[in-house]
Amino acid sequence: MGGAIPCSYSGKNTIHFGKRKAHYCEVAGMNPNGTLVGLLFGNSFSMNIITAVASNQLFKKVINLFISGSEFPAHDDFEEYLMEKMIKPIKPDVIFIVQKYVETHLYETPIDKIQEHEKFKHWTNILKVIENYTSAIIINKEQIKFPYDISTDFIRKKIYDLQVDSRIKNPPPSPNLEAWLAALKCSKCEFFGYREAFCDGEFCNVLDLATGLPLFRDTSHISLLGIRRIKPFIDKAIYKALKICV
């Protein structure tokens, strides 16, 4: 599930929240003339794209903090730590909230009831606070989750000399989650989408056409080639949020 820039998640780079462990990673931007600081957090999906963020020419440093399987915001100690120990004191130029959406209320709340939901109100309120400490907030749209592990299937079929599918059916998106994210009141927020990067209509590309190698590491995390594919979409969201014309 990792990104291309290796980070050591040894004891000194972990923060305990009860039985949960947050993993901390800090990398230098790839442009020596970069000036911005980025803060990237969420679950393992945030760590998965750290290369794409750090390789943007604007950044001198990118910090990532994630807990596998967690979700933000969640009214928990991880959220409090992010707000009080990271966001408020660091005041990062760009904040990235990147995660696999796992909470059932995001998928099951009727669209006409979303803005009445207490957790939606918390989302809106916490984004208002975060906006006071950053210039831009980048949020991912719904993740893609395939019915099987793309890389494992690729290896198995290569071993047995079977045909490898380069495209598979696009898992149906959740209209409820789409409506939830679209309804968020956040003037500094911009979104990037996995489907925009990998899918067109009913099908998604799971192999890189140039190399024939997988774009996904498992059922949902992207590979190094997948990172290269989604990078332009993340860059576009960054520039739009910062009102930079390129």
In this model, does residue 186 exceed pLDDT 60? yes
> What is the structure's pLDDT at 16?
93
* 135-148 pLDDT per residue, tens: 999 999 999 999 99
In this model, does residue 3 exceed pLDDT 80? no
Average pLDDT for residues 92-114, to the nearest whole number?
98
In this model, does residue 116 exceed pLDDT 50? yes
Token pair, residue 221, equals 């995390």
**CA-wise closest residue to 229 among 208, 201, 200:** 208
> What is the structure's pLDDT at 246?
80
**CA-wise closest residue to 101 among 124, 74, 128:** 74
- Give 212-246 as a 3 state SS string: CCECECCCCCECHHHHHHHHHHHHHHHHHHHCCCC
Average pLDDT for residues 108-132, to the nearest whole number?
98
**CA-wise closest residue to 185 among 137, 150, 133, 243:** 137
Share of the chain above pLDDT 70, in %: 96
Average pLDDT for residues 49-59, to the nearest whole number?
96
> Cα separation of 49 and 38, whole Å?
12
For the chain, the DSSP string reads ---SS----SGGGEEEETTEEEEEEEEE-SSTT--EEEEEEESHHHHHTHHHHHTSTTEEEEEEEE-TT--SS-SSHHHHHIIIIIIHHH--SEEEEE-----THHHHS-GGGGGG-HHHHHHHHHHHHHGGG-SEEEEE-PPP--SS-HHHHHHHHHHTTPPPPSEEEPPPP-HHHHHHHHH---TTEEEE-HHHHHEETTEEE-B-TTT--BSBSSSSSB-HHHHHHHHHHHHHHHHHHHT---
Average pLDDT for residues 12-35, to the nearest whole number?
92
**Average predicted confidence (pLDDT) for the chain:** 95
Average pLDDT for residues 40-62, to the nearest whole number?
96
* 232-246 pLDDT per residue, tens: 999 999 999 999 998
Q: How confident is the model at residue 1 (pLDDT cuts 50, 70, 90)?
A: very low
In this model, does residue 206 exceed pLDDT 60? yes
- Classified by CATH at the fold level, domain 11-144+172-196+226-242 comes out as Rossmann fold (3.40.50)
